[in-house]
Chain A
Amino acid sequence: MDAVFKALADPTRRRLLDRLFAGNGQTLGALCAEARMSRQAVAKHLALLEAANLVATQRRGREKLHFLNPVPINEIAERWIGKYERHRVRALADLKKNLEGKSDG
């Protein structure tokens, strides 16, 4: 769980997860195209996300595809959101989203 929080603590890595959320199964090259940083830097961030199990990879020929893996985030949420509170929390999150017009960045 430490690895997940550490991985999520960085805005660049959160942005990479956003990119995968928008388009799952991307190559390093595709993720670099918009990242405005070196290929090595992106590769390092992706390795950290993979170590935290937030990104899963699969090979396709010579390419490596990156997939957003939200399972650890679900595990974290379940740890502190009790069985009776879930609907209330979701309702509040929806309310916040509606009032603010967008989700957290």
Chain B
Amino acid sequence: MAEKFVYVTYIRTTPEKLWSALTEPKFTRSYWCETWHDTDWKPGSSWKLMIPDGRVGDAGEVLEIDRPRRLVLKWRNEFLPDMREEGYSRCTFDIEQANGAVKLTVTHEIDKPRSKFLQSVSAGWPAILASLKSLLETGDALEQTKHWPKGM
């Protein structure tokens, strides 16, 4: 059986601004533990999430992209061997207008029961999404996700 997590947050912003915050390094570095995307954002292009010290954190492919509505990434952990060997997961970002706010749904799934990788990313998503919301609504990300965890 596949494993799947679904995260939803409502943010007072516009779909375009949310899209920029999700994809552009100058934003991701401030709320997503200093990581940044290395990709040209074209369907079929390679995608990497870079760790600030230069390592590749996660990598895969842009499966689907429809700015500013939907982004689907093929996603595998690269820097932790036991997670890497679980293979590829799939992460979908859906953006919709909802009563004056923007609804962001992040769906992360993998075709592997009791996936350690999915347990691990799913522990991180709530904090990263809360931080993204804080950044867009107040101009400041949450302390919790401002820096790459020491020793990781």
Using CB atoms and an 8 Å cutoff, list the residues of chain A in contact with chain B.
Answer: 24-25, 53, 56, 58, 67, 69-75, 78, 83, 86
Cross-interface CB contact of B6 among A67, A78, A83, cutoff 8 Å: A67
Q: Closest 6 CB pairs between A and B?
A: A83-B143, A67-B6, A74-B130, A74-B126, A56-B6, A56-B8
Tally B residues with Cβ within 8 Å of A: 20
Q: Which residues of A contact B5 (CB under 8 A)?
A: 24, 67
Q: Which residues of B contact A56 (CB under 8 A)?
A: 6-8, 105
B144 CB to closest chain A CB (Å) equals 7
Q: Which residues of A contact B105 (CB under 8 A)?
A: 56
Q: Which residues of B contact A74 (CB under 8 A)?
A: 126-127, 129-130
Cross-interface CB contact of B126 among A25, A71, A83, A86, cutoff 8 Å: A71
Cross-interface CB contact of A71 among B3, B7, B107, cutoff 8 Å: B7
Q: Is the CB of A69 within 8 A of B143?
A: no
**Subset of 12 A-B contacts with CB under 8 Å:** A67-B5, A69-B6, A69-B8, A71-B7, A71-B9, A71-B125, A71-B126, A74-B126, A74-B130, A75-B133, A78-B130, A83-B143
Q: Which residues of A contact B33 (CB under 8 A)?
A: none
CA distance A71 to B7 in the complex (A): 7
Give the interface centre of B129, B130, B144 by most chain A CB atoms within 10 Å.
B130
Q: Is the CB of B8 within 8 A of A71?
A: yes
Residue B41 lies at the interface, judged by CB distance under 8 Å to chain A = no
Cross-interface CB contact of B10 among A25, A53, A83, cutoff 8 Å: A53
Residue B22 lies at the interface, judged by CB distance under 8 Å to chain A = no
Q: Is the CB of B144 within 8 A of A86?
A: yes
Q: Which residues of A contact B4 (CB under 8 A)?
A: 24-25, 67
Cross-interface CB contact of A58 among B6, B130, B133, B144, cutoff 8 Å: B6
